[in-house]
């Protein structure tokens, strides 16, 4: 097994950027990943792909060195914004887009992760899994990757073989290493409505979730015997990161070792 690609999503629910290496942050997550989040002014809740399908129509380009982002949409146009200090302009752009008052918040320590509990700090899926899901739904691999929104893409022997990186239970995650950085397979990644939608238009594919469930159980009839699986609508795994890995680098192109 080898790490082939690193994706981070600087603004939660928006596009990723591909990195050659990523540092483990002070909060035992990936530096830059979901560091910023869009929140409703009315109640502080996160604006994300689960509840806002129109978010898929926003495109982003990042300059992390200068902490800037370019956001474009057919609805509002193109804007370039700072990602530190004064968020007035980006807040106005996004408020115009969502037609409600929203604001960008930053958490440089842990970001705004999709998963809570268990010190969950990253996610991982194999190329073979993305290819298999693409076969099921006649989708290009890069489209499946965008829908699944995972941090680490690895080359493995078989679809869903990344499950072997998990331990027998959440209380016993399995340790493995990329470069000299220890990571731990914590649990399978439970999917939300986002993978059912086109990553560019937001249009939902009717019957996606049910078909995925059936295809996964056909491929792995005993999947629900695994106590980590409450159901089969899961793809990829989520990782927790031990404190001793803080400050270390995970590098693309490195083998996975134990």
**Over the stretch 105-121, which tens digit does the pLDDT of each residue have?**
999 988 898 765 555 78
pLDDT at 70: 98
Instruction: Give me the domain span that covers residue 156.
Output: 2-28+113-257
pLDDT at 118: 54
Q: What is the DSSP letter of 254?
A: P
> Mean pLDDT across the stretch 212-227?
97
**12 and 127 within one domain:** yes
> Mean pLDDT across the stretch 189-214?
96
Among the three residues 106, 132, 156, which one is the final residue of a domain in this structure? 106
pLDDT at 113: 83
**132 and 153 within one domain:** yes
Phi-psi group of 27: left, alpha or beta (phi > 0 → left; psi -120 to 50 → alpha; rest → beta): alpha
Say if residue 76 is exposed, middle or buried (CB neighbours under 10 Å; 0-12, 13-18, 19+): middle
pLDDT at 212: 98
> Between the CA of residue 70 and those of 46, 78, 126, what are the distances in Å?
21, 7, 30
pLDDT at 103: 97
pLDDT at 119: 58
Q: Is the CB of residue 129 less than 8 Å from the CB of residue 235? A: yes
Instruction: Say which CATH number the domain at 146 has.
Output: 2.40.33
Q: Is the pLDDT of residue 144 over 70?
A: yes
Arithmetic mean of pLDDT over the chain:
95
pLDDT at 90: 98
**125 and 241 within one domain:** yes
Q: What is the DSSP letter of 200?
A: T
User: How many domains, the chain?
Assistant: 2
pLDDT at 120: 74
DSSP state letters, 169-193: STTSPEEEEETTEEEEEEEEEE--S
Q: Is the CB of residue 232 less than 8 Å from the CB of residue 216? A: yes
pLDDT at 116: 59
């Amino acid at each position: 097994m080898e790490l082939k690609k690193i994706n981070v999503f600087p603004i939660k629910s928006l596009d990723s950027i591909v990195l050659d290496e990523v540092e483990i942050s002070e909060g035992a997550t990936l530096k830059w990943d979901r560091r910023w989040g869009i929140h409703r002014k009315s109640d502080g809740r996160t604006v994300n792909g689960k509840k806002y399908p129109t978010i898929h129509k926003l495109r982003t380009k990042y300059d992390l060195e200068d902490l800037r982002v370019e956001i474009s949409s057919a609805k509002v146009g193109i804007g370039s914004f700072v990602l530190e200090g004064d968020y007035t302009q980006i807040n106005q752009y996004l408020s115009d887009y969502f037609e409600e008052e929203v604001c960008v918040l930053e958490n440089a320590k842990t970001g705004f992760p999709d998963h809570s509990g268990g010190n969950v700090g990253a996610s991982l899926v194999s190329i073979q899994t993305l290819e298999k899901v693409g076969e099921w739904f006649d989708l290009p691999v890069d489209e499946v990757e965008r829908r699944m929104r995972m941090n680490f893409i690895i080359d493995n022997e078989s679809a869903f073989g990344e499950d072997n990186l998990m331990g027998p239970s959440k209380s016993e995650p399995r340790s493995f290493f990329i470069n000299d950085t220890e990571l731990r397979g914590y649990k399978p990644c439970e999917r939300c409505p986002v993978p059912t939608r086109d990553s560019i238009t937001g249009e939902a594919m009717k019957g996606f979730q049910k078909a995925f469930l059936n295809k996964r159980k056909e491929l792995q009839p005993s999947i629900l015997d695994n106590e980590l699986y409450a159901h089969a609508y899961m793809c990829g795994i989520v990782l927790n990161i031990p404190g001793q890995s803080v400050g270390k680098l995970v590098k693309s192109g490195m083998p996975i070792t134990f």
